[in-house]
Structure 1
Amino acid sequence: MLFSIIVPIYNVDRYLKKCIESVIAQDYSDFEVILIDDFSTDKSLEIARSYEQFPKVRLITKEYNSGLSDTRNIGLTEAKGDYVLFLDSDDYIEEGCLSIISKLISINNKPDILYFGYFEEYENVAQEMKKFGYVSKPNLLYTSKEFLMSELKQRNLYAAACFGIYRRDLIINNKLYFKKGIFHEDELWTPQIVFNANTIFASDYSYYHYLRRTNSITKKEDKTKNALDIIQICYELDHIFKNVDTRILKKYIDNHIAKIYMKGISEGKLDGKKYRKYVNRFYPLKKAFFLKDRLKALVFAINLKLYYYLNDLGL
C-alpha cells in the first residue's frame, strides 16, 4: 500500500463530509484512510461512521479527548502505507491528486519527504490563494542538509505537517511522533523530520485545500498557553540540535529558534509580571544570526511592549 491518509476528527461536522469525500473519490486505489475521532461532542462521529462501509476507510474512536498530537500518533501506529499524509478534517484534497503524487514519488526515487504547495481558502469567501510553505527552488531533489540550508538561509522553515508527505518508516524508525499536550506541535516536529530525512523533493504541484475557519483555535484571543508552549518547544529544539556539526547550519538553526521564540511570545503577549520567570528577553539575542533578526532581538531584549507593537505592524 502506498498511502495512509490520517484524518484526526474533533467537532467538525460542518466540514467532515467534504473532507472524506475528497479522499474516497480519488481515481487511485492504493491507499487507506484512517479516521480517528477525538471524542467529538457534535455529529462528527455519526458522519464518520457512515463511511465505515467503504473498504478503504478505517474508523478509530477514542474514549476521551486528548488533542491533535495524540490523535495523529494513533494514526501513525495504525498506518500500513509506505507514505503518510496528514489531512485535517476541515480541509480537503484535490481531485486526482494521489495519482499525480504517486508518479512524483516514483520518478524521484522514492524520497523520504515530498513538499507541495497548497490552496488557502477562507470561510464564506469564494476565493482561494495558491501558496507554498517552502521557498527553495521547486522540482528539485534535495538532501536533508541541502534543503535545511536553503530554507534557513532564507529565514524560512514552514512548520505545517499537512503540506508534506512522509515515508512512514522515517517516522517510525526515528520515533518522530508528535509531542502530546502542546500547541504548535508542528514547530517541534518539522525541523526533526527534515533533519532526519535522506532526500526531500520540493514540488510545484498543489493539492491540499487549507481552510481558515472563523472559529478555529488560531483565532482565539487568549494565547498564553500558545506562547508558553513555544518557549518549551524552543528549548527542546535547542537541546535536539545542540551537536549539529556544521557551524553555519547550527547558526541558521539557532536563528530559526530565535525567530519562533520572539514570535510566539509576542502573539501570547507575555509581558506581565507573572510571566517574567518564563520569558528570557536575552535568549533570542544570543541566538539570532541574520541582521534583521538580531535587530528584532535587540528590541525584544530592551522593551517587550515596543517589540509587540512593531511585530503587530508586521515589521
Structure 2
Amino acid sequence: MRITVDRRLPADHAARALRADAESALTGRPKRLPPKWFYDEHGSTLFDRITRLPEYYLTRAERQILNARAEEIARLTDARTLVELGSGTSAKTRVLLDALTAAGTLKQYAPVDVSDTTLDRAAEAISRDYPGLRVAATVADFETDLPLPEPGPRLVAFLGSTIGNLDTEQRAAFLTRLRAALTGEGDALLLGVDLVKSPTTLIRAYDDDQGVTAAFDKNVLRVLNRELGAGFDLGAFDHKALWNAEAERIEMRLRARVAHSVEIPALGLTADFARGEDLRTEISVKFRREPLTEELTRAAFTVPHWWPDPQSRFALLLATPV
C-alpha cells in the first residue's frame, strides 16, 4: 500500500494526557500548561490566521529559506526517507518534497503527529499529489517516541521552531534520543529555529494588534471547559506575551483580572486564582548560533550548514551525527 498509518497511541491517550496536564497545571505553583492543548480544530484555525499576520514573521521567514535552499538540501542529503516531526497538515513540507522528488532520491515521506485526524488527511493529500511516493504516517508523541522508518539516508525535519517549546533540559533529552535513533549512514536533522532579536519585534509576533493570538491563547480555556467540564470565564483573563531576557524566550500567559475560583468537575478540584496570577501556556525559546551549536555538539551532532533568512530573523540548520 502507498499509505500506511501506524497508530501508536491508545484511543484515550489525548483525554488521559489532558487530565494529567490540567491537574498538574492547576494545582501547581506557578501554574503551567503545555502548549499542545491550543490545537483543537478552532485553535488550529486561529493559528493558521496567526501565520498570515503581518507581525508573525516566523512562517514567512522559514518558507523563504526553504524556497532558497531546498534544492541544496536535497543535494546535500540524498534523502530516501523524509521524516517530519509534528507534521500537522504537512503544507510547508511540500517545498522539501518537491526538491527531493525532483532530485530523484526520495522514496518515502514519514509524517509524525499526535492528531490522527490531521495525519490521515495530510497523508491522503500527499499521496494524491505525489503519486510516486510512499507515505508511512505514525500517530505518536515525538517527545517520547521517535519512529524513524527505513530506507535511509533519512532526513528528519523539525520545523517551525517547535523545538523552542522545550526548555533546556527537555531539548537536551530530545536531541540525545534523536541522535541515538539516527544510526544510518547519511542520516541528518533539518532544524528550523527562531533567532534572538528585538524584544519589541518578538512581543508583537505573540501579541498582534488584531487580537488573534489573544483568542488563540484563551482557546485553551475553551478546551478545558469542553473536555473537563471546567467553568473558566474567558473574560476573566488577559493574554500576556512577555520577554524573559534571562532565558531568552517569549512566555505566553493568561493573567487573572480578579481573584476567583474555577470548578473542574472532571478532576474533582477547584483551581484558585489570585488577582494578577498567571497561567503560563507556552514558552518559545529564541536561539543564537553559537549556544545552539554547542547544545547540538553535546548531543553528538555537528552543524555543517546554517542558513538564516536575509534579515537574520530565522534560521534553518542541517545537523549530522558525529
TM normalised by structure 2 equals: 0.28
More strand by share: 2
Relative to the length of structure 1, the TM-score reads 0.29
